[in-house]
Chains A and B, each alone.
Chain A
């Protein structure tokens, strides 16, 4: 495996882990208003993600930094090309972060209701926009020969040669993302809460799993229709089929565990399903980072976008060290805060 490929794997892993970790925070937000009805229940739900959501969000920032390090051209083209969509992401991330941090500062019920609504809406929209972004990466973007593009928010709503950020395909992926993350958040809450919140979360997870299965049945042919390169890639390198197979098995296992009420196993299987699905897409697109819709030779690949060999090698050394530390203390935190969230109200406040 060449150093470029290794960095492709690292960058994909960063964003995939982000999808799994911050994904359950988004999912929690998507179902927040339905799963938690009273103020006490809402505090419980926020406490379930409280100690970890800040750390989860960093996977996105670190992933962006590593993309810049390894593939500067792809970072520059992607971030400037999706200018409008990324501004929405930024504004939603700002509102999401504030809503969690500020919601319990005051007791005033209007204050709390306001931030509750912001939290739910921002989480939903973030999941949808990230799904749409993934859809855009799969479909390809109108890259010019100089390696840049600018995507309008929408053009004809069809994935043609000059597509917009929103078309029927990317919206489908956005809906799929919302459904997958809603179930993910529900699975997480089933582990962390009890009583009414847990039973509502379990119901949402069970119904949502069926919705995801149905959406996936529609989406898979759409993926292959919109981006024929996926098919070619799997035909040439069928060994990669283990990734979609893993995702399918994980989906089945998650459904089975959900039915037999094994919350922990259901959550882990669903996480594996997300990782497997994103891995399948990455395998299908490799070695492309951004596919061009007009002329495939304009595509940005790991070969024409990579930084210097020295930079990639020295980066690998410190990244190995740094990410080991991160994984170490992240696991320590998750283990320390394992189990159901305690219902302790009116204890010494921090925020």
Chain B
């Protein structure tokens, strides 16, 4: 428990989980802001311009935290995972560098333009700027996910004389079949986060009886986007992401379900606690034969169990993986009826009076964050004990000369700093929300443009 490897893993987990709280909101909002700005530009609807303006403030706040917590991610590849970087730099260097050159430059530069160019540029340039922000943030997601997809499902590489891997086809790397469903699933989840937050702020304003006009715009946009995205999250993107796990990473798939023994007509586990001594599930609640049906469209199909594989190839945190998978799926499944109900109420013209629904929408805002975090833990814990699936073990990847004491030093530093950052973000988020969307004529225009 006190080896450098353990702290290296813990530090990467802590920093990447904390980091990803911010990009999921910015990527989701980038799409919604672009939609609002387009609508304002083509229909000359000032309400949407004002809404886009307000959400750009939240976007900028989240972006600032995302950038400062993102730089440690790239650095840690070299700092804590030197042997992995030496091994895989010839492949992942391509996608990580492309992220910098094609995406990060784009979003950082145009965010500056959007924040400081309100008076300088006309509506067209402002609209185009939101397009660039959308492109930049989604391309950023694409290249980072291409890197992760390669670690989940390595393609387009050859091993050289030193034992390191080198890319053999950049096109193959970027069209990794794994990437298709991983990218669509992750981006849909980002839209879920963005739209849930947008709808929640709308619901908060409406319940409080303030900023009524803007609240309705936020709710309409947020609820419709959330309903569509929640549905797409489960099908087809989530379904196919799971199918490719069961096809290419059967151990991970079996661990998802707590499926210890190979059997035909496998049950879908709804609830229960994995027991690692007896290799069974305590207090099981199952849907009979549904796992076989979902994966193979056939109730009697065989699903491989964990005991068919050597224990050293099992994910080393199997129970945690089982729980994160179930939290992700459980929450994702709850989002759909919630948001479909909201859309039906909206369509019938009753959403804005349905206070119970507004309360539900407001209180659900944190849950996409939990679901997304659980989803990433599912993907990454399930990849263990491999750093590159089937090719390179995590235990071989950390820096040989960075001792456990030094990693603990930096881990404690990150923990302290990130606790402060988290509090700051929440404080400023609520401050911005309570200041409200009305820019002109507000009683309190308490912030001046600077930096």
A residues with CB within 8 A of B: 42-44, 46-47, 49-55, 57-58, 60-66, 68-70, 72-73, 75-81, 83-84, 86-87, 89-91, 93-94, 97-98, 100-107, 144, 146-150, 307-308, 310-311, 314-315, 318-319, 322-323, 325-326, 329-330, 333, 336-337, 344-351
Asked if A314 meets B170 with Cβ closer than 8 Å, knowing A52-B112, A80-B399, the reply is yes
Q: In the assembled complex, which residues on chain B have CB atoms less than 8 Å from the CB atom of A70?
A: 93
Q: How far is the CA of A202 from the CA of B176 in the complex (A)?
A: 55
Q: Are B447 and A58 in contact (CB under 8 A)?
A: no
Q: Are A75 and B113 in contact (CB under 8 A)?
A: no
* A235 CB to nearest chain B CB (Å): 33
Per-residue contact bits, chain B 264-305, to A (CB 8 Å; 1 contact, 0 not):
000000000000000000000000000000000000000000
Chain A contact residues, majority secondary structure: helix
B residues with CB within 8 A of A: 53, 56-57, 60-61, 64-65, 67-69, 71-72, 74-75, 77-80, 82-83, 85-86, 88-94, 96-102, 104-106, 108-121, 158, 160, 164, 166-168, 170, 399-403, 406, 409-410, 413, 417, 421, 424, 428, 431-432, 439-440, 445-451
Q: Are B68 and A50 in contact (CB under 8 A)?
A: no
Q: How far is the CA of A346 from the CA of B79 in the complex (A)?
A: 44
* A99 CB to nearest chain B CB (Å): 9
- A100, A148, A311, A336: the one contacting B113 at CB < 8 Å is A336
Asked if A43 meets B400 with Cβ closer than 8 Å, knowing A65-B97, A348-B118, the reply is no
Q: How far is the CA of A250 from the CA of B370 in the complex (A)?
A: 55
Q: In the assembled complex, which residues on chain B have CB atoms less than 8 Å from the CB atom of A314?
A: 94, 167, 170
Apart from A310-B166, A314-B167: 14 A-B pairs, beta carbons within 8 A: A46-B450, A50-B112, A51-B113, A51-B117, A57-B108, A72-B85, A83-B402, A101-B451, A105-B447, A148-B82, A319-B101, A330-B105, A349-B446, A350-B118
- A44, A83, A319: the one contacting B410 at CB < 8 Å is A83
Q: Are A77 and B82 in contact (CB under 8 A)?
A: yes
* A151 CB to nearest chain B CB (Å): 10
Q: Are B113 and A333 in contact (CB under 8 A)?
A: yes
What are 30 A-B contacts with C-beta separation under 8 Å? A51-B115, A52-B112, A60-B71, A62-B100, A64-B100, A65-B99, A68-B77, A68-B96, A68-B97, A75-B89, A76-B85, A80-B399, A84-B409, A101-B64, A102-B64, A102-B428, A104-B451, A105-B431, A146-B400, A148-B82, A150-B402, A308-B90, A308-B158, A315-B97, A319-B97, A325-B102, A326-B105, A333-B113, A345-B448, A351-B60
Q: Are B167 and A76 in contact (CB under 8 A)?
A: no
Q: In the assembled complex, which residues on chain A have CB atoms less than 8 Å from the CB atom of B75?
A: 64, 79, 86, 89-90
* A58 CB to nearest chain B CB (Å): 5
Q: How far is the CA of A310 from the CA of B94 in the complex (A)?
A: 11
Q: Are B101 and A326 in contact (CB under 8 A)?
A: yes
Q: In the assembled complex, which residues on chain B have CB atoms less than 8 Å from the CB atom of A73?
A: 86, 89
Identity of the chain B residue whose Cβ is nearest the Cβ of A98 in the assembled complex? B68
Q: How far is the CA of A307 from the CA of B94 in the complex (A)?
A: 10
Q: In the assembled complex, which residues on chain B have CB atoms less than 8 Å from the CB atom of A311?
A: 90-91, 93-94, 166-167
* A269 CB to nearest chain B CB (Å): 25
Q: Are A47 and B105 in contact (CB under 8 A)?
A: no
- A149, A150, A350: the one contacting B60 at CB < 8 Å is A350
Q: Are A50 and B116 in contact (CB under 8 A)?
A: yes
Identity of the chain A residue whose Cβ is nearest the Cβ of B57 in the assembled complex? A350
Q: In the assembled complex, which residues on chain B have CB atoms less than 8 Å from the CB atom of A78?
A: 78
- A46, A75, A307: the one contacting B166 at CB < 8 Å is A307
Q: How far is the CA of A103 from the CA of B447 in the complex (A)?
A: 10
Asked if A83 meets B451 with Cβ closer than 8 Å, knowing A94-B68, A308-B160, A351-B115, the reply is no
* A194 CB to nearest chain B CB (Å): 16
Q: Are A50 and B166 in contact (CB under 8 A)?
A: no
Asked if A47 meets B449 with Cβ closer than 8 Å, knowing A68-B89, A148-B401, A318-B170, the reply is yes
* B115 CB to nearest chain A CB (Å): 5
Q: Are B410 and A93 in contact (CB under 8 A)?
A: no
Asked if A72 meets B71 with Cβ closer than 8 Å, knowing A86-B79, A148-B400, the reply is no
Q: Are A68 and B450 in contact (CB under 8 A)?
A: no
Q: In the assembled complex, which residues on chain A have CB atoms less than 8 Å from the CB atom of B77?
A: 68, 75, 79
Q: Are B413 and A87 in contact (CB under 8 A)?
A: yes
- B88, B111, B439, B450: the one contacting A54 at CB < 8 Å is B111
Q: Are B64 and A66 in contact (CB under 8 A)?
A: no
* B408 CB to nearest chain A CB (Å): 12
Q: In the assembled complex, which residues on chain B have CB atoms less than 8 Å from the CB atom of A315?
A: 93-94, 97
Q: Are B166 and A90 in contact (CB under 8 A)?
A: no
Q: Are A107 and B446 in contact (CB under 8 A)?
A: yes
- B120, B160, B450: the one contacting A50 at CB < 8 Å is B450
Interface core residue of B56, B61, B78, B90 (most chain A CB under 10 Å): B78
Q: How far is the CA of A323 from the CA of B98 in the complex (A)?
A: 10
Q: Are A106 and B446 in contact (CB under 8 A)?
A: yes
Q: In the assembled complex, which residues on chain A have CB atoms less than 8 Å from the CB atom of B89?
A: 68-69, 72-73, 75-76, 307
| Cβ-closest 8 pairs across A and B | A72-B89, A79-B78, A62-B100, A69-B93, A46-B451, A65-B97, A308-B166, A101-B64
